[in-house]
Structure 1
Amino acid sequence: MDLALYAYTLLSICIFIIISEQATYLRKKGSAPGPYLVVPFLGNALSMVRNPTAYWHDQASAALSSPLGLSANLLFGRFVVFLRDSGLSQKVFANVRSGVFHLIGHPFGKKLFGEHNLIYMLDHAHKDLRRRLAPNFTPRALATYLPLQSRVIVSHLVAWGHLANAGNAPLPIPLRLLSRDLSLETSQTVFVGPYLPQNDRLAFKNDYNLFNVGLMKLPIDLPGFAFWRARLAVGRLVDTLSGCAAKSKERMRAGDEPSCLMDFWMAETVKEIAEAEKAGMPAPPDSSDREVAGHVFDFLFASQDASTSSLLWAVTLLDSHPDVLARVREEQAKVRPTGSLDITLDQLREMKYTEMVAKEVVRIRPPATLVPHVAACDFPITEGYTIPKGTIVFPSVYESSFQGFTEPEKFDPDRFSGERQEDQVFKQNWLPFGAGPHHCIGQRYALNHLMLFIAVFFTVFEFRRHKTPGCDELAYVPTIAPKDDCLVYLSFRKDFILPKYTA
């Protein structure tokens, strides 16, 4: 009898919790479109994890059907709001500050990245850190990174060409994982240069892959689960980067010239540390080896998967637009008449059309399609709807990219020409690098990387996509990529001369 009473009481409690959760969800949802019934505790989390493409498409469709420009749902027991309208997204980006909206990067990012992270910093602390990071992206710094980027890109592309033609007949090769390896080695080389020995890079790569997998799995922080493995991997990555920071400080104190991003940052940091010591003051904030390592990991996270996505879409889009491809190759022949792959900053600045292509790639296929924030207060996002405090808000950069622009569904690099300047005319909708106080500080570096890849790939290779049904549909991995992983036939162009450093 006692057992039956216990079971009845437990069942009653569960029913009460489920009804309360449902009632709370409906109260928060209000007039916003979205499901009226949600799965207890999980909401629509399983459908989001199983097929994120379909899930976010449904959210966008629901928002499109409403004059509010947004939709609501429940994920892992958290109330979420999806913003389709770019004006609403801009409101969120412009109000990232204490007491309003907080950028979180990932719904469970704090468990992965830790509390002290550039993503989560606000107000004066955030402004001060961005000031300290500014030397990393000056023209001098970008010019230093350029040959490092070029050599990594060329070395990987040559390896791709050999891989595609290793057998008796050319084979189509999927570029996604190859592009991810290219982007990771570029990041390693540019960010920490000589401080990450070659024999440590494989372990670094494996840990980053574990982190990547964990991002897209259920947030179960228990031994054996992908999320748990991802969190441990981040700890090891930060440990490795801490050692790199210590070595960089040592070289910069010795007066050596900066050779990587960390050096440009540490060159100023060691001066500030010395001044603080001389004045009997504590070291400046964000200057310890581990703090520096955590922020460099932020750079890695921000650049690695975004770059991978853009490289894949550049290949996909130029394959289907031979007129654009012809103009890219024409410009490259003019800017680099000798065909040299050691591209200088001056040459890069001459590649006006290539830059337009790069901008259009990230407009029509923005890598970070969604930028999660959490509401720190009740925020009236429209006249008819207030986002409740604690809501996870998803401004959609992807949906914004198709608003306002001339024929937005068309791949048209000329929209960024000096005559049309649609990136300025429709600035509110061109959001691949975000907006507001947390806009991407490495925007120019990211565009340079994509331009270098375009300049080299399309002058080194003859290529064609291996077309299959649905191959160009979006896949979230975690940034967007072609569903087929960009399956391509490659062969070296007849006039290509193998650089000595790739032999």
Structure 2
Amino acid sequence: MEVYGGDVTVSLGYANALLVLAVLYLAWEQGYMLASRRTKSGKLLPGPSFAVPLVGGVVEMVLNPFNFWEEQRKTSFPGPSNLAFMHGPAHKAIRKSFLALFTRKALGTYVELQDGIVRCHIAQWLQSDSECEIRPFIRDLNAATSQEVFAGPYLDNPEEKERFSAAFMDMTQGFLAFPLCVPGTAVWKGKQGRLYIIGVLKRAAARSKLAMQGGAEPCCLMDFWAQRCLEEIEGADRAGLPQPGHTTDTAMADTVMDFLFASQDASTASLVWLTCVMADRPDILAKVRDEQLRLRPDLNATITGDILNEMTYSRQVVKEVLRYRPPAPMVPQITQREFQLTEDFTAPKGALLMPSLIAASMQGYTQADTFDPDRFSPERKEDLTCQHNFLTFGCGPHYCVGRQYATSHLIVYLAILSMSCNWTRRRTQGSADDAKNWLYLPTIYPHDSLISLHWATGSQIS
């Protein structure tokens, strides 16, 4: 009995010690959070007064993402191997290599590929006269476009292409799930999906290099980059230097994976907003159609890069969509040195800052909460006077390299959709006010986008 009692006493002693340590840790965690937000004058930066122990805001982000990101927006200050977190010489080298991907010739090639896929998908949508939630249809269109433009002829197996799309969806879902990576969870499926996609892209990079070495004409982004990488490898060999790290098949696959992820959700969200806003603003859509009829009398002809560059008003509309509803609510930044955030608070080196792109887009512009493409006209020039508030594509050394590609994709979609059909949007209680009730998936979408489309007869838009 005495031994048993002694064991109980010891066990209670351990339990009490662990409890004391846990309480001390939680108290330290709360104190550290508050101390990190304290300015030189002793005031606290805006933000929550309490952090959920151990997991922080993860629970709220999963259960109530709108409120989570809305609170981040209210308290924000505009202002590894993943490309977004690369710095130094390696980052400069790979950014220089990217110049070959977005030349006038390359962008023109992509535009013609985009044209064909957009026409095909819109024709499929119009087979049914019933109302639909347009978001999944646009997602499929965008996925098909990205895959064709980025890896085109190297995703030539129908089963592989279908599995590729499914794996990409698993990746997206993984970002919205509780962060637990064990077999069967959404995060685990997302990880497996990424591994599959990297494997496919690695083989595509190898095939592309062989094709370019054989003298084939570049017909997708992978080809343009493979061509450039081969030149860099040859130059390094002649100089007796190591081959650039970004020229390996694995590195190319990783980077194209980054491109795919960056383009998929962000562009899908912007395409959905573009469709909805045009349904709500027939006056602006009419101006888009006037421009299209003037520039494209033969509506069946493939849009070229040269014609796209003349679509001044359509480009203004697209740019305003990107400002009015930036698809990403924030872009994490790691400070490379001390950064003065406010007059009396300096973020230390290595701090993770998450500037709100949404808040930035609503500052500085004339009547910023109004959709107004004319703000980017040559007369008003708010794209110049407010350029520091247009952060949709980021800024600084990590400014999005694919911004021209993404913008072109939206313009091609608008040009073809505007002249192919008429469409209307039905509002529900959830979408009665698009400014207050968004979906985060993980980019922002309207609460719903219930669209009815109908064929337009020739160029006569009724």
In structure 1, the residue matched to 2:444 is: 480
> Which residue of structure 2 aligns with residue 500 of structure 1?
none
1:388 deviates by: 4.3
CA distance in 2, matches of 1:339, 1:378: 54
> 1:286 aligns to what SS in structure 2?
helix
Equivalent runs, 1:288-307 vs 2, <5 Å: 288-307=248-267
Residue of structure 1 equivalent to 2:67: 54
Amino acid at match of 1:269: C
Match of 2:221 in 1: 261
Match of 2:292 in 1: 332
Describe the shift of the 1:299–1:483 C-alpha distance in structure 2 as closer, same or farther (beyond 3 A): same
Gaps of 5+ in 1: 64-81, 90-114, 498-503
Residue 76 of structure 1 is matched in structure 2 by none
What is the CA distance between 1:215 and its match in structure 2?
1.2
Instruction: Return the offset for 1:280.
Output: 4.7
Q: Which of 8, 28, 33 is residue 20 of structure 1 equivalent to?
A: 28
The corresponding residue for 1:405 is 365
Q: Secondary structure at the match of 2:47?
A: coil
Distance 1:403 1:395 in 2: 13
In structure 2, the partner of 1:94 is none
Tell me: CA distance 1:278–1:60, structure 2 relative to 1, closer, same or farther (3 Å). Answer: closer
SS at match of 1:257: coil
Deviates more, 1:296-305 or 1:464-473: 464-473
* 1:381 paired residue number: 341
Which position in structure 2 is the counterpart of 1:495? 458
CA deviations 1:457-497 (Å, max 9, x no partner) are 1111111012101223311111111111x110111112279
Q: CA deviation at 1:44?
A: 2.6
**Paired position in structure 2 for 1:237:** 197
CA deviations on 1:261-309 (whole Å, 9 max, x unpaired) are 1111111211232343455543222111010000111111111111101
Q: What is the match of residue 210 of structure 2? A: 250
How far apart are 1:226 and its partner, in Å? 1.6
Indicate conservation of the 8 Å contact 1:28/1:388, yes or no: no
- Aligned: 1:32 with 2:45: yes
2:134 equivalent in structure 1: 175
Alignment root-mean-square deviation, CA: 1.7
For residue 355 of structure 1, the aligned residue among 312, 315, 322 is 315
Q: Tell me how many residue pairs correspond in the alignment.
A: 442
User: Would the aligned equivalents of 2:146 and 2:260 in 1 still touch at CA under 8 Å?
Assistant: yes
1:378 is displaced (CA, Å) by 4.8
- 5 Å matches for 1:369-448? 369-375=329-335, 378-448=338-408
Q: Equivalent of 1:223, from 167, 183, 193?
A: 183
Q: Distance in 1 between matches of 2:135 and 2:66?
A: 17
1:223 is aligned with what amino acid?
A: P
**AA aligned opposite 1:116:** S
Amino acid at match of 2:165: K
Say whether 1:191 aligns with 2:191.
no
The Cα of 1:221 is off from its aligned counterpart by 2.4
Q: How far did 1:224 drift?
A: 2.2
- In the alignment, the residues of structure 2 paired with residue 143 and residue 344 of structure 1 have an alpha-carbon distance, to the nearest angstrom, of 6
Contact map agreement 1:378 1:386 (CA 8 A) in 2:
yes
1:100 corresponds to which residue? none
- Runs of 4 or more, structure 1, over 6 Å off, are none
Equivalent residue in structure 2 for 1:2, among 10, 21, 28: 10
Q: Following the alignment from structure 1 to structure 2, what is the Cα–Cα distance between the partners of residues 376 and 333?
A: 50
Equivalent in the alignment of 1:459:
419
CA contact under 8 A between 2:202 and 2:250: conserved in structure 1?
A: yes
Structure-2 change in CA distance of 1:26 and 1:261 (3 Å): same
Using structure 1 for the length normalisation, give the TM-score. 0.85
Q: Closer, same or farther in 2 for the Cα pair 1:279/1:379, shift >3 Å?
A: closer
Query: Could you report, residue by residue, the CA deviation over 1:349-396 in whole angstroms, capped at 9, with x for unpaired residues?
Result: 221110110110101011122001234555332221122455431111
CA distance in 2, matches of 1:468, 1:341: 38
Q: What per-residue deviation string (whole Å, max 9, x for no partner) do you get for residues 157-177 of structure 1?
A: 111111xx2xxxx32111111
| Alpha carbons of structure 1 residues 198 and 178: separation in structure 2 relative to 1, 3 Å | farther
Q: In 1, Cα distance between the equivalents of 2:452 and 2:259?
A: 32
Equivalent-residue separation in structure 1 for 2:400 and 2:373 (angstroms): 22
Q: Following the alignment from structure 1 to structure 2, what is the Cα–Cα distance between the partners of residues 203 and 191?
A: 17
- Alignment match of 1:142 (pick from 107, 110, 116): 107
Aligned residues of 2:293 and 2:459 also touching (Cα < 8 A): no
> 1:305, 1:240 → 2: CA distance?
20
Q: For 1:488, what is the secondary structure of its paired residue?
A: strand
Which of residues 182, 205, 219 is equivalent to 2:165? 205
Q: Say if 1:187 and 1:303, in contact at 8 Å, map to a contact too.
A: yes
- What is the CA deviation profile of residues 107-132 of structure 1, one whole-angstrom value per residue up to 9, with x for unaligned ones? xxxxxxxx323222112211111111
> Contact 1:470/1:483 (CA < 8 Å) preserved in 2?
yes
Larger radius of gyration: 2
User: Are residues 496 and 210 of structure 1, via their aligned partners in 2, closer, same or farther at CA, if it must alter by over 3 Å?
Assistant: farther
Residue of structure 2 in register with 1:364 after alignment: 324
Contact 1:142 1:445 in 2 (8 A): yes
> Matched residues in 2 for 1:280 and 1:376: separation?
32
Deviates more, 1:52-61 or 1:441-450: 52-61
Equivalents in 2 of 1:277, 1:379: separation in Å? 41
- Counterpart code for 2:404: R
Q: Is the 8 A contact 2:375 2:382 kept in 1?
A: yes
Identity %: 39
Residue identity matched to 2:122: L
Equivalent position amino acid for 1:491 in 2: H
Residue in 2 aligned with 1:317?
277
The answer as to whether partners of 1:154 and 1:341 remain within 8 angstroms in 2 is: no
Distance 1:6 1:376, change over 3 A: farther
Does the Cα contact within 8 Å between 1:341 and 1:456 map onto a contact in 2? no
8 Å contact kept, 1:204–1:237 = yes
> Cα deviation per residue 1:228-258 (whole Å; 9 max; x = unaligned)?
2212211111110000000000011111111
Query: For the residues of structure 1 that align with 2:15 and 2:206, how far apart are their CA atoms?
Result: 59
Q: Is the 8 A contact 2:108 2:306 kept in 1?
A: no
User: Whole-Å Cα distance in 1 between the matches of residues 71 and 81 of structure 2?
Assistant: 34
Task: Give the alignment partner of residue 120 of structure 2, picking from 139, 155, 158.
Answer: 155
